């Protein structure tokens, strides 16, 4: 229950939901105070403008993604790659590449690239359960890896973990203190590494899915692309804040 409650509450702080909440409050307060209504209206529009233009989302996203450089080659003493799921959804044409999110596809492709470059036996651990009725991420990641040429016997699945904290606990159980490379989105990596560190694990960072440097057309105008990046940024910083709280 706390997991789903926190997921719901955090979603209310994303730019669009909070904009409509503030807009509704502005409309309701019109019956009591025009000044309060106008203040809420201005704040709601300013809030949406702040997150739908590049300045704040790009800055915060860069702060997350610039902490670790891409891993171009797997170190010789690393024989395990852990891939964290980044979301999945039901598709009208079921297949791993249509049901996995863009972030999940980027992560598994990066992991397969490292696997193929290693030219030695490597184990892939794919992690991610079902959230709110979505397909099981680990199963889709496994199917995607097999499609990309990874033998099934080289893949271990964690199909029960629903969030990063649970994944860190499960990976600790599966790998003990063995060293491994951790593949996830560059924006998600700081939080993931912190949570894995809490379990006494020190993975090699292998970031993927860098999106901060991808500039849409009409860069400085409000765009849906920035709202999506804002959602990622808010999700990660709230996740870090929640993780820090849990250590006390």
Q: What is the DSSP string of 83-98?
A: EE---B---SS--HHH
Q: Does residue 101 come out as left (phi exceeding 0), alpha (psi in the -120 to 50 range) or beta?
A: beta
Q: From CA 141, how far away is CA 84, in angstroms rounded?
A: 9
> Cβ(157)–Cβ(126) under 8 Å?
yes
Q: What is the pLDDT of residue 90?
A: 83
Helical pair 224-245 and 189-198, crossing angle rounded to 10 deg = 10
Segment 4-59, tens digit of pLDDT: 666 777 788 899 999 999 999 999 998 889 899 999 999 999 999 999 998 899 99
> Has residue 110 got a pLDDT over 80?
yes
Q: Which of 154-168, 169-183, 201-215 has the lowest mean pLDDT?
A: 201-215
Q: From CA 58, how far away is CA 79, in angstroms rounded?
A: 35
What dotted CATH number matches 80-208? 3.40.50.620
Task: Read off the pLDDT band of 2 (50, 70, 90).
Answer: low
> Has residue 242 got a pLDDT over 60?
yes
Residue whose pair of structure tokens reads 């209206």 in the numeric block = 41
Nearest to 125 by CA among 200, 64, 196: 196
Q: Among positive and negative, which fits the CA dihedral 237, 10, 235, 193?
A: positive
Domain with CATH 3.40.50.620 in the chain: 80-208
> Has residue 160 got a pLDDT over 70?
yes
Q: Global pTM?
A: 0.89
Nearest to 113 by CA among 73, 77, 57, 166: 73
Name the percent of the chain in helix, strand, coil, to the closest 5: 55, 10, 35
> What single-letter DSSP state applies at residue 247?
T
User: For the chain, what is the mean pLDDT?
Assistant: 90
- The strand pairing partners of 208, in sequence order, are 185
Q: What is the pLDDT of residue 141?
A: 96
> Has residue 248 got a pLDDT over 70?
no
Q: What is the pLDDT of residue 5?
A: 66
Q: Which H helix or E strand runs over 128?
A: none
DSSP secondary structure of 185-232? ETTTHHHHHHHHHHTT--PEEEEE---TT-PPSSTTS--HHHHHHHHH
> Has residue 76 got a pLDDT over 80?
yes
Contacts of 134 (CB under 8 A, 6+ apart): 87, 88, 89, 90
């Amino acid at each position: 229950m706390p997991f789903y409650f926190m997921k719901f509450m955090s979603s209310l702080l994303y730019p669009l939901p909070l904009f409509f909440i503030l807009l509704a409050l502005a409309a309701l307060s019109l019956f009591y105070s025009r000044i309060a209504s106008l203040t809420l209206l201005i704040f709601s529009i300013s809030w949406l403008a702040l997150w739908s233009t590049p300045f704040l989302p790009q800055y915060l996203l860069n702060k997350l993604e610039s902490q670790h450089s891409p891993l171009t080659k797997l170190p010789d003493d690393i024989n395990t790659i852990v891939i964290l799921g980044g979301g999945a959804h039901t598709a009208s044409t079921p297949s791993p590449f249509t049901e996995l999110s863009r972030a999940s596809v980027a992560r598994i492709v990066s992991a397969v690239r490292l696997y193929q470059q290693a030219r030695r036996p490597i184990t892939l651990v794919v992690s991610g359960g079902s959230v709110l009725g979505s397909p099981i991420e680990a199963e889709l990641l496994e199917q995607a890896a097999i499609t990309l040429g990874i033998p099934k016997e080289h893949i271990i699945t964690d199909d029960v973990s629903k969030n990063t904290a649970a994944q860190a606990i499960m990976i600790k159980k599966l790998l003990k203190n063995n060293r491994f490379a951790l593949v996830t989105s560059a924006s998600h990596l700081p939080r993931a590494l912190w949570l894995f560190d809490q379990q006494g694990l020190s993975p090699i960072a292998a970031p993927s899915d860098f999106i901060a440097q991808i500039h849409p057309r009409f860069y400085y105008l409000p765009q849906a692309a920035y709202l999506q990046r804002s959602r990622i940024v808010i999700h990660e910083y709230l996740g870090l804040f929640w993780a820090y709280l849990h250590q006390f």
